[in-house]
Amino acid sequence: MMYHKPVLLHESIAGLNIKGEGVYVDVTYGGGGHSKEILKHLTTGCLFAFDQDDEAIANKVEDKKLVLIKQNFKYMKNFLRVHNALPVDGILADLGVSSHQFDTGERGFSTRFEGTLDMRMDRANKLTAAEVLNTYEESELIQIFKNYGEVENSRKLVSAIIVARQQKKIKTISEFKQAIQTCIPRGKEHQYLAKVFQALRIVVNNELEVLKDLLIQSREVLKPGGRLVVISYHSLEDRLVKNFMKSGNFEGKVQQDFYGNKLVDFRVITRQVITAGEEELLENSRARSAKLRIAEKV
């Protein structure tokens, strides 16, 4: 089984505008698909890759030009400094969950399998989805499903969770689905559960704050002319990326100096977001929600 089929591979590699002698960073190594393609373009250059998942680290390709670091990418700048690799020529981030993580039932990422409600990308972390469901206050859970999953009936959903967990702890995917079955709209089961699981995954892995950290660091880590290439999979991520590339902040408000000149850190390369073509969608259904944005450090 393929560990992970890289999404928007050619478009993202083209976006990096790779120089053979350059220094590049793949902050989400995963199955190594994007990294392998970057390595093909390097001559004397090198690639630093990050992943916090042991299974991704075990999937490392042997290449002298690759340094694979088992860490969350929020520590990117610190580790690049340790390796005396600053500044760099390009950063690639393929956000979200790998195909392998989705397809491994016991990881708890997918509604298709039975398994424990885990959802940790880094298994050394203590917080699991089960702990969130069983211990968080009602008001906290409502905010999680409303803000991170954009779930319309968040209050009804949380009410069902509270009732179920008072009987016994919710530990598995089937127990969770059973607990909330009255909240799931008929005919939209898959879409609804995808939103609910997305919300839990975001909070377990602190995904949006980690993404913000990465974007802020990219400003300092990239050389002038260096490229920032980001593939996101839902509107919350994409909005942060779009706003940051445009304005240097997460609200999307461009600041100006006294003379009215725009104060920006990046030049946006992708005026329109890049999405997968028909051919890729036929081969890889997970590319359906992918959105690629590219910017260049000024």
For position 35, what pLDDT does the model report?
Answer: 97
Say if CB 160 and CB 180 are below 8 A apart: yes
Average pLDDT score over residue span 8-16: 98
Superfamily of domain 106-205: Putative methyltransferase TM0872, insert domain (1.10.150.170)
Could you tell me the pLDDT band of residue 59, with boundaries at 50, 70 and 90? confident
pLDDT of 1 strictly over 50: no
Average pLDDT score over residue span 57-77: 95
pLDDT of 98 strictly over 60: no
For position 123, what pLDDT does the model report?
Answer: 83
* Chosen CATH of 9-99+207-297 out of 3.90.1150.10, 3.30.830.10, 3.40.50.150, 3.40.109.10: 3.40.50.150
Average pLDDT, the chain: 93
pLDDT tens, position by position, 145-179: 999 999 999 999 999 999 999 999 999 999 999 99
Could you tell me the pLDDT band of residue 107, with boundaries at 50, 70 and 90? low
Question: What percent of the chain is modeled with pLDDT above 70?
Answer: 93
Indicate the domain borders of the chain.
9-99+207-297, 106-205
pLDDT of 233 strictly over 80: yes
For position 103, what pLDDT does the model report?
Answer: 53
Could you tell me the pLDDT band of residue 114, with boundaries at 50, 70 and 90? confident
For position 285, what pLDDT does the model report?
Answer: 84
HEC string of the chain equals CCCCCCCCHHHHHHHHCCCCCCEEEECCCCCCHHHHHHHHHCCCCEEEEECCCHHHHCCCCCCCCEEEECCCHHHHHHHHHHCCCCCEEEEEEECCCCHHHHHCHHHCCCCCCCCECCCCCCCCCCCCHHHHHHHCCHHHHHHHHHHHCCCCCHHHHHHHHHHHHHHCCCCEHHHHHHHCHHHCCCCCHHHHHHHHHHHHHHHHHCHHHHHHHHHHHHHHHEEEEEEEEEEECCHHHHHHHHHHHHHCCCCCCCEECCCCCEECCEEECCCCCECCCHHHHHHCHHHHHCEEEEEEEC
